[in-house]
Structure 1
Amino acid sequence: MTAPAPALATAAAASLAEPPARFRDLIASEWIKMRSLRSTPWTLALITLFVIGSAAVATLADKAAGSEPADFLAYDAYPSTGYMTLILVAGTMGALTVVNEYSSGLIRTTTVAVPDRGTVVLAKAVVTAVLWTVVGTAASIGSFLVSQAILEGHGAGVAITHPDVLRPLVASALLAPVCALVGLGLGVLLRHTAGTMLTSVFALLMLPTMFSESNRWSADAKHTMVSAAWTRLVMTWEPDPGSLGYTATLPGSWIVYALWPLVAVALAVIVVRHRDV
């Protein structure tokens, strides 16, 4: 007995169908997409050099060479100029990881090949996190080494084994992947280049400046921001509550570091699974 033609076609298609993509295959695919952009290596190299250079400039400009050695860590090794710029670039590049695909239409090809859109977002998040952790670590260690080499001539340098070094170094290294993942999550949620860029800049850089630490509610709001958490984590001294108002706690600042990227990526995965491309 001969089977109907549609049944034969279905069976043939099933036999020729490729197995579902493995997660490591998705990671490899996202890595190829990212490194194939000519602007990516140039951007990563330039922002790393800029952050390290800003530490060198801040250290050379610092005239208070008689202070305690550890006091130089926050102001010289991790100056706000370099790291606020790092926040901007990391958040923007993280967003572009997604919005470029939406603007070019490549996302349709991606979702046809991998129907599970949430897994695609997770693969993008893994690649983004790893890449920017490497960049952030290079910038953080480079900033520290350059600044301390300059300060060594003034007798104010500290070794990387100094007890006050680890927390600022780790916090500065993780700042880049945290902001990149927030940008990626916003890119999935908004899917529009200009809107995502503006939202990322506002959330990561502009919003914290609208709050102060002079009263409790404003301080609590500010302490939930990534840049404020980084500022607290790089401080190598215990602030005086009487002079600085309400100050964030160290555990609270680490929680802020963890929650922002987790919430951004989780929302992106949930939303992308419940809407059309």
Structure 2
Amino acid sequence: MTRTTSAPASSVSSVSEPPARFRDVLVAEWIKMRSLRSTWWTIALTALFVIGCATVAALADHDNIVAAGPGAQESRGFLPFDAFPPGAYMTLMLVAGSLGAVTIVSEYGSGLIRTTTVAVPARHSVVLAKAVVVAAVWTAVGTAVSLGAFLVSQAVLDGRHAGVSLTHPGVARAMAASALLAPACALVGLGLGALIRHTPGSLVATLFTLVMLPPLFSTSRQWSADVNHVMVASAWKRLVQNWGGPVHHVHHVHDATVSGSWAVYVVWPLVAVALAVVVVRGRDV
């Protein structure tokens, strides 16, 4: 008698990978940013440029105080734009905004976004992870740059007894505004990059929105001043220039409020990130 032994049917069970945790997406986005050497070189050169501009401005005022004679420094007080020169910080805004846009645009250009969305189908998680990494990196950069520019400029002015300490009235607000300027602009660039998805267009839009648009609206008329005050660059100037000393109002000039300027710092990044989430979730890669 022949006994037929039938092999047990092997049940093939499909083991699905667990969904990526948000922490894993954060790590992946950090690795992407960390692996780009050009990003760190750009950040380093920009930081040196800002601190160098603050040093040059402080040296110029140091020489002016010497030429003005004894007692001139007492009438000058804290020189905020020695520590925070507008031209240098406009450059910081442009670099932060551009690199924020490149953070997401580069993936569309290289096609890496397809791999990313396959690995993480929840596209909003990818955008939020990018936003967290960008905000963290640029907050650290902004803090280091503003602190370095302040300390170097005040060390120069100390030679004429015109420097001030970190506890001087108004310094903390100016430092915070300058430190948070970089992440705010980087997140605005991220939102524009998600919307446009092309490198040249994203960079031009970032330049226009952050740097070129505010001067188009003067503060001589109320409606124009209202538009000007909701710009990031104008909010920074208000928080730094009117640093806590006497404010010299110009006739027919509508000045922004401190609380309104801080609100600009909050609203622009939130709207930019929300826009990026909506855009990325609502269209194909």
TM-score between both structures, scaled by the size of structure 1 = 0.93
1:137 aligns with 2:136: no
**Structure 1 vs Structure 2 CA RMSD:** 1.8
* Counterpart mapping for 1:151-170 below 5 A: 151-170=157-176
User: For the residues of structure 2 that align with 1:212 and 1:39, how far apart are their CA atoms?
Assistant: 37
Structure 1 residues 202 and 132 mapped into 2: Cα distance closer, same or farther (>3 Å)?
A: same
Q: CA deviation at 1:238?
A: 4.3
Task: Tell whether the 8 Å contact from 1:239 to 1:247 is kept in structure 2 after alignment.
Answer: no
Give 1:251's aligned residue: 259
Q: CA deviation at 1:221?
A: 0.6
Runs of 4+ with >3 A deviation: 67-71, 240-244
User: For the residues of structure 2 that align with 1:196 and 1:214, how far apart are their CA atoms?
Assistant: 31
Q: CA deviation at 1:79?
A: 0.3
Query: Equivalent residue of 1:131, what SS?
Result: helix
Give 2:154's aligned residue: 148
Letter matched to residue 72 of structure 1: L
* Counterpart mapping for 1:109-148 below 5 A: 109-148=115-154
Task: Tell whether the 8 Å contact from 1:188 to 1:268 is kept in structure 2 after alignment.
Answer: yes
1:71 aligned to which of 49, 68, 78: 78
Task: Tell whether the 8 Å contact from 1:55 to 1:77 is kept in structure 2 after alignment.
Answer: yes
Give 1:260's aligned residue: 268
TM-score between both structures, scaled by the size of structure 2 = 0.90
- 1:159-202 CA-to-partner distances (Å, cap 9, x unmatched) read 11112210000000000000000001111111011110010000
1:269 aligned to which of 277, 281, 284: 277
Task: Tell whether the 8 Å contact from 1:70 to 1:164 is kept in structure 2 after alignment.
Answer: no
Structure whose CA Rg is larger: 2
Letter matched to residue 56 of structure 2: V
Q: CA deviation at 1:18?
A: 1.3
Query: Equivalent residue of 1:239, what SS?
Result: coil
Gaps of 5+ in 1: none
Query: Equivalent residue of 1:276, what SS?
Result: coil
Deviates more, 1:229-238 or 1:25-34: 229-238
Q: CA deviation at 1:240?
A: 3.3
2:90 aligned to which of 84, 94, 99: 84
User: For the residues of structure 2 that align with 1:170 and 1:244, how far apart are their CA atoms?
Assistant: 29
* Counterpart mapping for 1:230-249 below 5 A: 230-235=236-241, 236=243, 237-243=245-251, 245-249=253-257
Q: CA deviation at 1:81?
A: 1.3
Q: CA deviation at 1:239?
A: 2.8
Query: Equivalent residue of 2:151, what SS?
Result: helix
Query: Equivalent residue of 2:279, what SS?
Result: helix
- 1:49-106 CA-to-partner distances (Å, cap 9, x unmatched) read 1111110011111255324454302x20000111000001000000000000000000
Task: Tell whether the 8 Å contact from 1:77 to 1:147 is kept in structure 2 after alignment.
Answer: yes
The total of aligned residue pairs comes to 269
Q: CA deviation at 1:241?
A: 3.3
User: For the residues of structure 2 that align with 1:141 and 1:54, how far apart are their CA atoms?
Assistant: 14
* Counterpart mapping for 1:177-196 below 5 A: 177-196=183-202
Paired-residue identity, %: 60
